Amino acid sequence: MKNIAVLVSGGGTNLQALIDAANNGEIINGKIACVISSRDNVYALQRAKNADIPAEVVSRKSFSSAEQFDEALLKCIKKYNADIIVMAGFLCIVGQNIIKEYPNKIINIHPSLIPSFCGDGFYGLKVHKAALDYGVKVSGATVHFVNEITDGGTIILQKAVEIQEGDTPEILQKRIMEQAEWKLLPKAVSLVCQDKVKVIGNRTIIEE
């Protein structure tokens, strides 16, 4: 059974999707061992409490450098013997030490079809506004491994979501969450927990 550390920074809707999936037996060979937030007083911490999952805060603003923050974050992750790290709306960039410690074991969800509308500065509603401003007909979500490039890691799963007339960034965000993010993330986590995702070059192969 793999221990999963879920990193959060906000409301925790993707965390809730993972909790629900775990409770329904959809995450095979994995359990959520801890939730770690980069900010105090976010609702994701309450979601963890409601589910009886240990939760801690490693506040980014408490550290004067990214290196110090990374060191504290890694220490907290190791405290729970985490095998896999899931970034579920985590708004901090993790550093080289964590990436080297967990190669192809850090999973992130991004609300677009990478390589579109991703990278530095693309997060939250900014992603959906960019997609609408560009005029694309479909957007979606991507689950990928984390490497040293923002949103640049190997893609695990993707799902397209149609853009509809009258969409606002808020409306599109909700549809992508419901139709893609909340389905893809638990599925990808389960596959990684079962060692069914193999990375070959810049591609992944899913073993069924």
* Full domain range(s) for residue 92: 2-206
Strands 106-110 vs 138-145: parallel, antiparallel or unpaired: antiparallel
Task: Return the pLDDT at 93.
Answer: 87
Quote the CA–CA distance of 98 and 197 in Å, as a whole number: 20
- pLDDT, mean of residues 98-121: 95
* pLDDT band, very low/low/confident/very high, at 115 (cuts 50, 70, 90): very high
6-54 pLDDT, tens digit each? 999 999 999 999 999 999 999 999 999 999 999 999 999 999 999 999 9
CATH number of the domain residue 170 falls in: 3.40.50.170
**Cα separations in angstroms, 51 against 45, 79, 208:** 10, 20, 30
- pLDDT, mean of residues 45-71: 96
* pLDDT band, very low/low/confident/very high, at 102 (cuts 50, 70, 90): very high
pLDDT > 80? residue 96 = yes
Q: Could you write out the DSSP letters of every residue in the chain?
A: -EEEEEEESSS-HHHHHHHHHHHTT-STTEEEEEEEESSTT-HHHHHHHHTT--EEE--GGG-SSHHHHHHHHHHHHHHTT-SEEEESS--S---HHHHHHSTT-EEEEESS-TTSS-STT--THHHHHHHHHHT-SEEEEEEEE--SSTT-SPEEEEEEEE--TT--HHHHHHHHIIIIIHHHHHHHHHHHHTT-EEEETTEEEE--
149-191 pLDDT, tens digit each? 888 899 999 999 999 999 999 999 999 999 999 999 999 999 9
46, 74 contact by CB (below 8 A): no
Number of structural domains found in the chain: 1
119-139 pLDDT, tens digit each? 888 988 999 999 999 999 999
Task: Return the pLDDT at 208.
Answer: 75
Burial of 26 per CB tally in 10 Å (0-12, 13-18, 19+):
middle
Catalytic (active-site) positions: 110
Q: Which pTM value belongs to this model?
A: 0.94
pLDDT > 90? residue 85 = yes
